[in-house]
Structures are given as C-alpha cells and as structure tokens.
Structure 1
Amino acid sequence: MSEKAPSNSTASRSKAREQAEQKLRDSPRTVQTAVQDPALLLHELQVHQVELEHQNEELRRALQETEEAHRRYLELFDFAPIGYLTVDRMGLVQEANQAISGMLSVQPSRLTGRQFGTHLASEYRGHFTALLKRIFESLDKRVTEVMLTRSDGTTFWAQLEGAAISENGQPGDWCRIAVVDIDVQKQVQQEVMHLNQTLEQRVEARSARVRELSEELERFTYDVAVDLQGPLRHIETFVDKLKKHGQHDEESRRYIEHIQSSGNRMTVLTAALLSFSRASRMRMRSVPLSLDQVFKDVQRKMRPQLKEREVRLTCDPLPMVHGDSGAMQLVLRELLDNALKFTRDQPEPRIHVFAQDLPREHVMAVRDNGAGFNMRYRDRLFNVFQRLHNERDFDGAGVGLATVRRVVSRQGGRVWAEGHVGEGATFYVALPKQPSELD
C-alpha cells in the first residue's frame, strides 16, 4: 500500500497553534494586560480549557464514527457472499476476505502477501496475467473465467471481475478483484452441451432411418406401379376381345364398360404414381439457374396446348436461383398444367407467373382466374391422390401438385397455395437463397 498521509487531527492542531502564535504576535498589548491582571489571565485560561474540552469531545465522536464505519466495512468485506481481493500489479494479494478463503480452503494469512496466480490451475495462469494487464490499462471493469485450485487439489470454475483503484483519475498500483464461484453453472452448461450432442446424434440417426424408410417406400411404390402395368394391359386386352366376340345383353355390356372404365382409371393412376416415383428418384444438382429461361423452355413445349385454348399467359421478370433446371421445368410445367385445367370453364382464361423477394428465399408464383378452392382444405392439395374437386368436373390423378412439393422439398424449398372458390388460385414455390444440399 502507499505511505499514509498525516492525519486530519494532527494537521488541525498544527494549524491552530500557528494561528494562536500569530494572534499573540499581532496582539502584544492584550498579552501584557493579561499578565498584569492575574484574574483576567485565569479567565482566559479557563475559556481555552473549555474550548479544548469541546474540541476533544468532537474528536472522540469523529474517531468513534470512523472506527464504526471501518468495522462495518470490514464486516461487509469479510462476510460478503463472493470473494474479494486487493491485488497489486505483480499479482500479490494485499487483502482477502473470508469468502475467497473459504472457496480455496486456506487461511486468509496464507493468501496475503503471496501470488494469487499460484491458486489457479496451471493452464489458466496466463489468463490471470492477461487480466491484470488489461485491468491496469484503464479504469474499466474486466472479466474472465478461470479454473481455481483448492488446497486439497480439487478444482472449480470461477469468474474474476477486476477494476483498478483510481489515483487522480488514472489506474493506481492496486486493483480490486471479485471472485464468483460458477462451477455449478459450468457443469450445467456442459450437461446441456452433452445433451445437445446426444440429441443431435439421435436426430441424425432418426433422420437417417426416416430417409431409409422413405427410400424403401419409394422403391416399393415404383415396383408396384411397374408390376401393375402388365396385369392392367391384360385386362384391357381381354376386355376388348370380350366386347368384340359374342352376343351380350344390356347388363353384360354395362359390366364390360365398367370393367374397361375402371381399368383405364387404374392405368392412369398407375402412370401417375410411376411419374411421382420417378420425380422422387430423379438426379438433381444445384447450380445457378435463370427462372426466366426455365419459363421460356416450358412455354415453348406447351405452345400447342396454349394455342388450343387461347389462354392469356403472362410473366414478370423472374430471379436467378440455385436449383436443378430439369426439376424446375417439371415444377413449372405441373403448375401451368394445373392452372390450364382449372381455367377450362373461364371464357377468358388468364395465367400470370411472377416473383417475390423474401429475406432468405426467392419465390416464384403462378396465379390463375379459375375454379379456385376452399382454403379450409389447402393442406390436402399437395398430397398424393388428394382432390378438392369432383373427378367428373376436372380429370386427373391428383399427383401433379404432390410431385411439385416433392421436387421442391428435395431442393430445400417449400410450397403453399392461396385461393377462393370461383375466384382463382395462386401457387407459390420458395427456394432458399443460400444453396442447400439436395435430398
């Protein structure tokens, strides 16, 4: 610590003496009069005695207050719930309270006058040296986390928060350091990290199992669709032969037509299922892709369909995205086919393709003025074989939109739709701006 300055009481007495001597020098006649008159001199001495007694009483009260404040400070310092240290620039402990003594399981006398760095685990002593350097660079608080060693060799995590003691507005030669035991907090953090790692492993294992089952289901779906084609062709062939040979009454002909109609429907569904399976298994690669070019390629292939219907097809400028060209052509073709189908009864069918820019996604949308749909059932739109309209009104297998969702999800994107019955519908495809791993 720095040398102690003269006490206030000593300075006060020296000043009082100087003032008294100056007063005597300035008033020689008063002194001579007091000496010549013993009664007056005795009175003056008694007055000064009373003044001295009052001053002594004030000094005693001030001393008691100072001692009481010092006692309270020591109690607060010693019995604080966290450890407190006063340390010099070399790391020598000048003062230590009971809390830090209890943390380290050592007596306070074994802390003061010794290097605090000896109580740190060896790999964290450099952290403490760096902390001291930063503390004495300014008056700001500095914080670090270290591992401390108890007298029995066990260790625990602690947070050190230090600040230099100010001398004339600058860091002096001493600093105060608060020590907080954060061992339980660190253990909880480590447990959470372990649980997170375990959870990630479980999620990864579960995801791998889901992918495996999905691949098995896709293979099964593909195999079933392929295997059904042969029997369906046989049914169609023999139904044709049955119609051409022999005489049939009205009821028999009706049965044959039902068989033929169901066979044809089954053929359509099998072909759609096969198409969906192929879309799920197609190879894709993510590259920079112009959706404007995708639209032009699809429009060229659909030109005969568009001319037959005289549909007004318009398109705003579309963005560059990361995706697979063949996959996005399939997506746009399915969405345009869907729009063409549901604008069939419109005298002036209109289909508009446009884009939206979201913070993390590029969005392509296809809007039509067709039949629309009830928003209560929008979650069914993208499921296989799910239909929101009567098959007699709008043909199809109910696989096109499911194919769109499957292809887009494999590119890390998402799909959704908005619409109202009789007021048209809008279908949205969102692709991430950052390239994602293709599924």
Structure 2
Amino acid sequence: MTHESTETSSDSLPTVEARLQAVEAQVHALQVALQQARALFHNAPQATFLVNAQGRVVQANAAAAALLGSTADLLHRRPLLGTLPPSSHTAFTALLDRVFGELGPQTTELQLTGTGGRIMDVLMAASLHASEGHEPLCQLTVTDITPFKAAHEVLLDATQTQERTVQMLTLKLRQLGEEFRNVMLVSEGELSTTLTRAQNFLTLHERQTDPDERQRSLHHVSMAVQQTQGLLDSLKQYMQARTIRARPQHVNLARVLREVLKDTAEARLERDVQISQGALPMVVGDSRVLHIILHEYIVNALKFTRVRPQARLHVLVKETDTEHWIGVEDNGVGFNMRQKEQVFELFTRLHASDLYEGTGLGLAVVRSLCDRFGGRAWAEGKVDQGATFWFAWPKVPHSDAGSGLS
C-alpha cells in the first residue's frame, strides 16, 4: 500500500512542475504585455492622460507631459483642472461628469495652459476605463488645435473681408448704374431741348425775309449747336473719368498746369487774364486724372470771371502732414456759401445758363475723382467777390486708386 502511494506521488511531480512552468510562462507573458502596453502608452505620439473621477492625474504619457512643460512624475496625482484657465473649468468638469456617468465617449473643445504659460486651444476626447476591482479611470486624449483655430480665424477674416469687398463693389456698381441712368436721362432732355431750339430757329430762318432777323436766327442756331457740342464733350469727359483705370506714379503738378494752360489758351484770347501760381509739388497719382481736375477748375474760373475787365486767377498751394492742398482762386462772380455743396452735384447750375454756359457735369466729375483717390474737393466763395475751388490730394496713394469704379 505504501509502495503504491509513493509511486503515484512520484508520478504526479512532473505534472505539477509542468503546470507551474506554464503559469510562470503566462505571468511572464502578461508582464511583457504589460510592459509593452505601458511603453505604447508612454511613447504614444498623442498626448494622453488617465484621470480619476476627481480629475487627478493617475498617469500621463511623455507627449502629455511635454505638452504641459512638465514630467509624468510631477503630474502624478495633480488635479488636471489646475492646468486649465478658469474659462475652461466648467467645460472640463462637465466632461468628467458625463464620462463617469457612463454616457459614453465624449468630446469637447477647451483651453489648456501649456509650456511657458501659452494658452492652447485643444480638442479633448474622453472615454471611461473600468475594470472589476479597480478604480474607474477616464482616458483623455488631447489634440492641440491652436494652429487650426488660428488658420480658421485667418480664413474667416479673409472671407469676411472678401464679402465686405464684394458688398462694397456691388453697392458701387449699383450706385454707378443709377448715376449713369440719371446722367443719360438728363442728357437726353438737354440734347432734346437744344436740338429742338436749333430746329425751331432754322424753321424761323427759312420763313424770315429780313436779313437782320435771319442773322439773329442763325446766331441762335449756332448757340444751340455749341451747347449740344458742349454737352457731348462733357459726357465724353464724364465717361472717361468714371471708367479710367488709373496708373499711379510721381506727377509734377507744375507740368500738368502748363499743359492745362495750353489747352485753355483759346478761351483767354482777347481777354485780359492774369494767372499766377505758388510752387506746385510732386504728387503720387495719375497725370490724366490730375489734368482733368485742374482743367475743370481753370475753365470754371475763366468762365465766371468773364464779366471782369481783368480776370485774376491764382493757383494756391498748402500742405498738411497727410495731404497737398491745391486751390484755384478767382475774382469772378462768386457764389453763396449756403450753396457750397450744390456746386459739386450733377447737372447743378448756380448761375443762369443763358449767361454762363456749362452742363453741370465737370465739378461733379472732380469730386468723384478726388473721392476715388482718397482726396477731397470743396469750394469757398462770396457773391460778387470771387471763389476758390480746392482739392486735397493724399500723400499716400489710396488703396482703391487703380480700380475702374468710383
């Protein structure tokens, strides 16, 4: 009996040893797997925290520690809430409540205080890790989205700027279209009136027999034709000025004035006209635009000094920190300062058209061009004591100067 029991016990030893070896192998495998899992967690490129229900850090991988400018050991058992700015405290607490309330994985955007106190916008993804016999933990995966948010803000700003630009251009196009329609309607009426007057006097001329009367009728026809031609010329200048694509460059205003005076030489024939000027500056602009402005001011001064035995025109020059002021002063009939804004309105005449020719387009074009280049146009005057027409030209070119819209 004893002999048999001894043999049975001896036979079972290899079996126990085999089982022990198998268990040891399993434990070793589990240790290796645990080490691998820890290494994977620690070296994961994504910043990851394990926190308990109170929000204290149980573990933090290398990326998470680097994100906060700390180490895993220093972060251990520290409240993660302390790394968040106050504005994100409520969002973080609510995130933990939802996760530990077993509402499933959660995601939220909040801010985190990183290395050197830098405030980062982060996306925080959270999920619950619970195992029997162990404290439930929340895994937080943190992604720095600060560059994305910054790029988004830049894109949003650019989009809003573009939308405002489109709205502004749409409004300008609408205003320009309305202005064109008004100009065409009024021009049609003006042309119809002058051509009808010419036709009426031609008809009268055919019926008249007295040479003096026939001559007077022809004179009226000639005046009506001149008015028609003047209106057509003004319309041409208006269209050119409103659609011109400016080429900003350094412009010598003294040279522009000399060209204007050459163009207006015929209007000064058989008149006593004295023209003086200050030292005109170099400006940045388009020479064609500046020629139009000075031409209109000189022609305007010559027109309203016609009643003077001697016309005196003086080109004034002033300067501020940001602008050059150029004025054309005359000793003409002047105007009431209560009408100073009407002077620059389309088709506005402050004086009788039978005494002073003109279409009322020129000064409106001047103001439009000045506005387009970031400048200003205004006038000063006294009845029967002359007037001064000014324009202010910016020293730094306006950003919309090259546009064909104004």
Compute the TM-score of the two structures, normalised by the length of structure 2. 0.56
Secondary structure of 1:371 counterpart: coil
- Equivalent in the alignment of 1:13: none
Q: What are the Cα deviations for residues 103-157 of structure 1, in whole angstroms up to 9, with x where unaligned?
A: 53388xxxxxxxxxxx9999x99x823x1xxxxxxxxxx5534436364569899
Per the TM alignment, residue 387 of structure 1 is displaced from its structure 2 partner at its CA by: 1.7
Pair 1:272 & 2:230 matched: no
- Equivalent in the alignment of 1:104: 92
Q: 2:283 aligns with which of 321, 330, 344?
A: 321
| Within-5 A mapping of 1:20-419 | 90=71, 92-93=74-75, 96=79, 103-105=91-93, 128-129=114-115, 131=116, 142-147=117-122, 149=124, 151=126, 197-198=159-160, 200-201=162-163, 204-205=166-167, 207-208=169-170, 210-211=172-173, 214=176, 218=180, 221=183, 236=198, 239-245=201-207, 263=224, 267=228, 268-282=230-244, 284-306=246-268, 308-419=270-381
Query: Are the counterparts in 2 of residues 285 and 438 from structure 1 also a CA contact under 8 Å?
Result: no
Tell me, in whole angstroms, the C-alpha distance in 2 between the residues paired with 1:228 and 1:346. 29
Give, as a single letter, the amino acid of the residue that structure 2 aligns with 1:382.
F
Tell me, in whole angstroms, the C-alpha distance in 2 between the residues paired with 1:430 and 1:299. 21
Pair 1:438 & 2:403 matched: yes
RMSD: 5.0
The 1:300–1:202 alpha-carbon spacing in structure 2 relative to 1, beyond 3 Å, is closer
Query: Identity across aligned pairs (percent)?
Result: 29
Tell me, in whole angstroms, the C-alpha distance in 2 between the residues paired with 1:375 and 1:230. 33
Tell me, in whole angstroms, the C-alpha distance in 2 between the residues paired with 1:305 and 1:262. 16
The 1:265–1:385 alpha-carbon spacing in structure 2 relative to 1, beyond 3 Å, is farther
Tell me, in whole angstroms, the C-alpha distance in 2 between the residues paired with 1:236 and 1:286. 43
Tell me, in whole angstroms, the C-alpha distance in 1 between the residues paired with 2:388 and 2:247. 27
Tell me, in whole angstroms, the C-alpha distance in 2 between the residues paired with 1:310 and 1:374. 26
Query: Are the counterparts in 1 of residues 323 and 395 from structure 2 also a CA contact under 8 Å?
Result: yes
Query: Are the counterparts in 1 of residues 304 and 356 from structure 2 also a CA contact under 8 Å?
Result: yes
Higher alpha-carbon Rg: 1
Tell me, in whole angstroms, the C-alpha distance in 2 between the residues paired with 1:416 and 1:343. 19
Q: Which has the higher contact order (CA 8 A, sep 6+)?
A: 2
The 1:437–1:423 alpha-carbon spacing in structure 2 relative to 1, beyond 3 Å, is same
Per the TM alignment, residue 297 of structure 1 is displaced from its structure 2 partner at its CA by: 1.5
Per the TM alignment, residue 319 of structure 1 is displaced from its structure 2 partner at its CA by: 1.8
Secondary structure of 1:309 counterpart: coil
Per the TM alignment, residue 336 of structure 1 is displaced from its structure 2 partner at its CA by: 0.8
Compute the TM-score of the two structures, normalised by the length of structure 1. 0.52
Secondary structure of 1:366 counterpart: strand
Give, as a single letter, the amino acid of the residue that structure 2 aligns with 1:149.
M
- Equivalent in the alignment of 1:181: none
Aligned positions, number: 297
Q: What are the Cα deviations for residues 260-300 of structure 1, in whole angstroms up to 9, with x where unaligned?
A: 59955862545534443343345543222111110122223
Query: Are the counterparts in 1 of residues 375 and 391 from structure 2 also a CA contact under 8 Å?
Result: yes
Give, as a single letter, the amino acid of the residue that structure 1 aligns with 2:402.
E
- Equivalent in the alignment of 2:29: none
Query: Are the counterparts in 2 of residues 354 and 366 from structure 1 also a CA contact under 8 Å?
Result: yes
The 1:317–1:377 alpha-carbon spacing in structure 2 relative to 1, beyond 3 Å, is same
Unaligned runs of 5+ in 1: 1-86, 108-118, 132-141, 160-185
Give, as a single letter, the amino acid of the residue that structure 2 aligns with 1:312.
Q
Query: Are the counterparts in 1 of residues 195 and 225 from structure 2 also a CA contact under 8 Å?
Result: no
Tell me, in whole angstroms, the C-alpha distance in 1 between the residues paired with 2:355 and 2:327. 25
Query: Are the counterparts in 2 of residues 412 and 437 from structure 1 also a CA contact under 8 Å?
Result: no
Tell me, in whole angstroms, the C-alpha distance in 2 between the residues paired with 1:154 and 1:88. 17
